[in-house]
Amino acid sequence: MLVVAVASAWPWAAVAQQIPVSVVQSVAGLGDGARQQIQEYADRAAGDLSAQDPVRIRDARNHLLAPLADPLVGVPFRLEYSRQLTPRLESLAQDARPIVAVNALRIAGDLATDRSVEVLLGQLENKDASVRLSAAAGLGRVFEAMRETAPAINPQSATRLMERAAERVVAEPEAHVADALVRALLAAAAVERDEFPGLRPRALELASARVADRVKAMGGQAPTPAGIDTILRTLSAASIAMAEDNARAVARRLPEAAAKAAARLSAECLGLLIELARGGKLPVVDPGAPKEDQDRAAAERAWAISAAAAADNIAYFARNRLGDRASQSNPPLSSRLASGRRDADAQFITDASSLRQALSRF
């Protein structure tokens, strides 16, 4: 019989540590025997999640994650496994040792059930940033599981999860944790299943709106590397979505709220770039400088060029979508920044300000 097996260096390695594939992949109800197998499998590792030895914690986590890695994992297995594990994970996620909490949250995210989601939501405001990061990353894995396997979460829980992640994007003080929350929202925006008809556009709307809020709160200050990742990732997702929307039949188009949120994201990002250019915070590419200095300056402003290009594209599609017949910037806004010269930056400020004003009507 085929089995899911886990290699381990644990003292009980000689004990049979396996669950039949037929149980993991079942699409029907599970009998008492199958439930007993799941309980025994979970019991072997759950205790070691709070061990003093980090290696034992890692091995316990890997043991518990192994069945969930099966691409054909069934909903009945997920639900029963979650029933067995979630009460323990909830307690472990509150452990004073971050290593324990982080590994518990990793498992909760991969379980991707209504019950395990509550464990993740409960730690989004933990005082330890590493725990908050793990909770945020777990939310992303829930949406990935919904996209890639049969979902074991109901639409109401999925929506609540998404809305809660969005709330935390602006409130989160650490840029890298906020980035993980935005990743989770964008993972939700990639879920295209009949069971969750409104999830994708709502996720895109929330990601665009909350990242726009975060950009606005920067007050013209240069973003951190994690902040740059968030900006570029969200601009890219919104740009692609708006381009696809432009090609769709009217009945399948994004809701107006999502288009407006994308337009606002474009406007806020343009506003940030305008302030950075106006304040001389974008490095100049001096043709008289040594090549390595030119290359360094060009690399440091590369993100701004990419952001300007994506914001320009979003603006074009958003204005067409929202009833403002538009043409794309000519030349593109990004080309102004690409030269690396102050005079070109000044022209960017003029052109981008005009486009931002047009977007403000939405």
169 lies in some domain: no
The mean per-residue pLDDT over the stretch 89-109 comes to 97
* Digit-coded pLDDT (tens) for 248-290: 766 578 899 999 999 999 999 999 999 999 999 999 998 888 9
Rounded distance, CA 131 to CA 136, Å?
9
Cβ–Cβ under 8 Å, residues 162 and 202: yes
239 lies in some domain: yes
Asked if the model's pLDDT at residue 17 lies above 60, the reply is no
Mean pLDDT, all residues of the chain:
91
Same domain, 4 and 108: yes
Domain region containing 145: 1-154
Rounded distance, CA 309 to CA 239, Å?
10
* Digit-coded pLDDT (tens) for 281-340: 999 998 888 999 889 999 999 999 999 999 999 999 998 888 877 777 778 999 999 999
Asked if the model's pLDDT at residue 233 lies above 70, the reply is yes
Which pLDDT does position 14 carry in this prediction?
29
344 lies in some domain: yes
Which pLDDT does position 325 carry in this prediction?
74
Same domain, 127 and 237: no
Same domain, 7 and 140: yes
Chain center to CA of 190:
10
Same domain, 242 and 342: yes
Same domain, 22 and 141: yes
Domain closes at, from 109, 134, 154? 154
The mean per-residue pLDDT over the stretch 84-113 comes to 97
Which pLDDT does position 8 carry in this prediction?
41
Same domain, 21 and 123: yes
pLDDT above 90 coverage of the chain, percent: 81
Which pLDDT does position 249 carry in this prediction?
65
Which pLDDT does position 84 carry in this prediction?
95
Domain closes at, from 112, 130, 154? 154
Same domain, 117 and 231: no
Structure tokens belonging to residue 299: 């690399």
CATH classification at residue 73? 1.25.10
Same domain, 231 and 339: yes
What pairs with residue 18 in β-bridges? 5
For 74, residues 6+ apart whose C-beta sits below 8 A from its C-beta are 24, 25, 26, 27, 150
The mean per-residue pLDDT over the stretch 167-177 comes to 96
Cβ–Cβ under 8 Å, residues 16 and 5: no
Q: Is 3 helix (H, G, I), strand (E, B) or coil?
A: strand
255 lies in some domain: no
Give, in order, the Cα–Cα distances in Å from 96 to each of 102, 118, 127, 152, 209: 11, 19, 10, 30, 34
Number of domains in the chain: 2
Asked if the model's pLDDT at residue 12 lies above 60, the reply is no
* Digit-coded pLDDT (tens) for 38-54: 999 999 889 999 999 99
